[in-house]
Amino acid sequence: MHNFDFVKPASVAEAVKALSADGAQALSGGQTLMPTMKQRLAAPTMLVSLTGIAEMKGVKVDGRTLTIGAATTHATVAKEAAAYPALANLAGGIGDPAVRNRGTIGGSLANNDPSACYPSAVLASGATVVTSKREIAADDYFQGMFSTALEEGEFITAVRFPIPDRAAYAKFDQPASRFALAGAFVARFAGGVRVAITGASEGGVFRWAEAEAALSSNYSADAIKGLSLDPSGMIGDLHGTQAYRANLARVMVQRAVAAS
């Protein structure tokens, strides 16, 4: 690991100023960034910790909207997001206790790992990603594997989730990492159903429009039986072929619907 400076701002404004420096990198839970730095695949000259910013922590409910500060840990979401049980259950299934007590929702979304759990919840919920500069709709935020709409120096401060009428998350995880080989978050609102798939596609999290249409007409696991995802573009590796992941994603949607 290379030498670097470390600062811990107490406010969003201080963090914005610190991140304007050349070579500065935002640090949240550090569950991805620190291992990357140890392998010398990243070498920021300054780490700007976001964990000391009180306004970026905590879970709040206002009517049918749940707002989570970006520096809130997975463990806290699992414990305090009771107003949105599907999201709380998702958070409680991330990694292991060490990861859940260090990793944050903002860090996960900023990294946008193609097998991470939170992106599916954000996309299926039609959530709003609030940053140090603006607000970004979920449909505009995710732009491919490890790619987001965040600009240089911009960081997530909070995420606002509309609370659906029914929702659930189902994933088939890789036993060692507990990342999803395929995961599906299904959310039913008065205006229709949103379905987001994670872990399966080379392009990262995505909405499955065909499943959304089927479930909006008939919200049952049976509505998915005749559907299939195109395996081209799916991840194929030692854990499963492209066709395997395409089928697994469909099965996860059925399980999520049945559990919601």
The distance from CA 71 to its chain's CA centroid, rounded to whole angstroms, is 13
Work out the number of other CB atoms within 10 angstroms of the CB of residue 54.
10
- Helix, strand, coil % over all residues of the chain, rounded to 5: 35, 25, 40
Nearest Cα to 189, choosing from 159, 223, 219? 219
For residue range 94-110, list pLDDT tens digits in order.
988 999 999 999 999 99
Single-letter residue type at 157: T
Single pTM value for the model: 0.93
Single-letter residue type at 223: A
pLDDT of 136 strictly over 90: yes
Candidate CATH numbers 3.90.940.20, 2.60.40.10, 3.30.390.50, 3.90.1150.10; the one for domain 166-259? 3.30.390.50
128-131 and 135-137 as β-strands: parallel, antiparallel, unpaired?
antiparallel
Structural fold of domain 5-49: 3.30.43
Q: What is the mean pLDDT of the chain?
A: 93
For residue range 9-45, list pLDDT tens digits in order.
999 999 899 888 888 888 787 777 777 777 777 777 8
In the block, tokens 């994603």 appear at: 249
Give the C-alpha separation, 215 to 125, whole Å: 15
Q: Spell out the alpha helix ranges (H) of 112-241.
A: 118-125, 138-141, 209-217
Single-letter residue type at 94: I
pLDDT at 27: 79
Give the C-alpha separation, 63 to 197, whole Å: 27
Q: Domain boundaries in the chain?
A: 5-49, 55-162, 166-259
Tell me what the mean pLDDT of segment 201-219 comes to: 96
Instruction: Specify the long-range contacts of residues 27-34, CB closer than 8 Å, at least 24 apart.
Output: 27/51, 28/70, 28/71, 28/103, 28/104, 28/106, 28/107, 28/110, 29/73, 29/102, 29/103, 29/104, 29/107, 30/102, 30/107, 31/95, 31/99, 31/102, 31/103, 31/107, 32/107, 32/111, 32/113, 33/107
Tell me what the mean pLDDT of segment 238-257 comes to: 96
What is 55-162's CATH number? 3.30.465.10
| DSSP state letter for 21 | S
pLDDT of 132 strictly over 70: yes
pLDDT of 199 strictly over 80: yes
The residue with greater pLDDT, 55 or 35, is 55
Sequence-ordered list of residues with C-beta below 8 angstroms from that of 35, at least 6 positions apart, any chain: none
Give the C-alpha separation, 60 to 128, whole Å: 15
